[in-house]
Structure formats: C-alpha cells, structure tokens
Amino acid sequence: MAAVVAPARSFLCYKKRTMRRGKNPETIITGQIREILKLMRVEHTKNWGGPMSERGVSDIIGTLQEPTVEIAADGKRTEYSAGRSLYCEIKVPGKEATEEQTAFLDRMRSAEAVCIVVHGVRELLSELSKREFKPAERIAAQLIGGTY
C-alpha cells in the first residue's frame, strides 16, 4: 500500500483550519505576529494573563536590537548594541486597548520603551518601521513589496 503524503500546509489553510476549530481570532493574530517577530530576530515572550497576573500587562514583551554594523557583502556578522524594550498589545480589528492596558503602555513609554497596539501584521510592520527599526523595513519590503 502506498504511503499517503500530506499536502504542504499553506498559511491560509492553517488559518481556515484554526477558525473552524473555534480558536479565538486574537490567538490567530498573536501567532502571526510572533512569527514575524521571529523572522526579525526580536527576542520576545507571550505574556499569559490570568487571575494571578497584573492587569493591563501587554500581550508580547520583547527587545528590539538595532545593529551597530550592517552585514557586509562578504558575510561579516552584525554586532548588536543594547536594545529597546518592546511592549505590544494585540487586539482584533475594531477593538481598542482597555484603560488598564493603556495605563501600562503609558508607564512603559515614559521609560523610553516602544509601546504599540496592533491589529495585525501590517500594522506591526508599519509601527516598527515608523520607529526606524531596520528589520521591520526589510520584512515589509519582502512580504508586502514596499516600506511604509
């Protein structure tokens, strides 16, 4: 009997399957954003809110590392400087951050952190490009065909 080979899973098929299973749309958006952050090599973690956690803390907490040296044509490794803190609140389209979430982002922003509320991957890339984060500009050019 011949082995059955599963077809390649495309991103769109994954999205349709997860929606059929009843996954929360914010969970899907969070997964997409985390994949883009991994492509940009942004160290980050997902903050899992619960009854024992502080209210208003952002969904994703990470560090944006800016290269101090560009990658040379001969493949020279890029050296990284100290990074900037990233706090990313993820919302489904049409929803906004709560008062607690806004207050948390304002506190972190006062400490010079990059604080954003995003509704999808395009908005994430746009916000990080506005802050001149080079990896976001490169990913936007590759995935979307242009910078913001």
CATH number at residue 110: 3.40.1350
pLDDT value of residue 21: 63
Model pLDDT, residue 66 = 72
Q: Would 106 be classed as within a structural domain?
A: yes
Q: Is residue 86 a contact partner of residue 63, using CB atoms and an 8 Å limit?
A: yes
Domain count for the chain, please give it: 1
Instruction: Report if pTM > 0.95.
Output: no
Domain-located, residue 128? no
- In the sheet that 84-90 helps form, which strands lie side by side, from edge to edge? 43-46, 60-64, 84-90, 114-118
Beta bridge mates, 88: 60, 116
Domain presence at residue 98 = yes
Q: Could you tell me if residue 92 is inside a domain?
A: yes
pLDDT value at residue 4: 44
Within-domain flag for 37: yes
Q: Which helix (H) or strand (E) holds 43?
A: strand 43-46
User: What local confidence, expressed as pLDDT, does residue 10 receive?
Assistant: 45
Rounded mean pLDDT, 92-121: 96
Helix axis angle for 121-130 and 25-39, nearest 10°, is: 40
Which whole number is the average pLDDT over 126-133?
Answer: 92
Confidence of residue 148 (pLDDT cuts 50, 70, 90): very low
Q: What range defines the domain where residue 44 resides?
A: 25-49+56-72+79-120
pLDDT of 2 strictly over 80: no
Residue 125 falls within a domain, yes or no?
no
pLDDT in tens, 14-47: 455 555 566 789 999 999 999 999 999 999 999 9
Query: Does a structural domain hold residue 33?
Result: yes
46-91 pLDDT, tens digit per residue, is 999 888 989 999 999 999 987 666 666 677 666 666 689 999 999 9
Which amino acid is it at 5?
Answer: V
Whether residue 40 lies inside any domain: the answer is yes
Say what the pLDDT of residue 9 is. 45
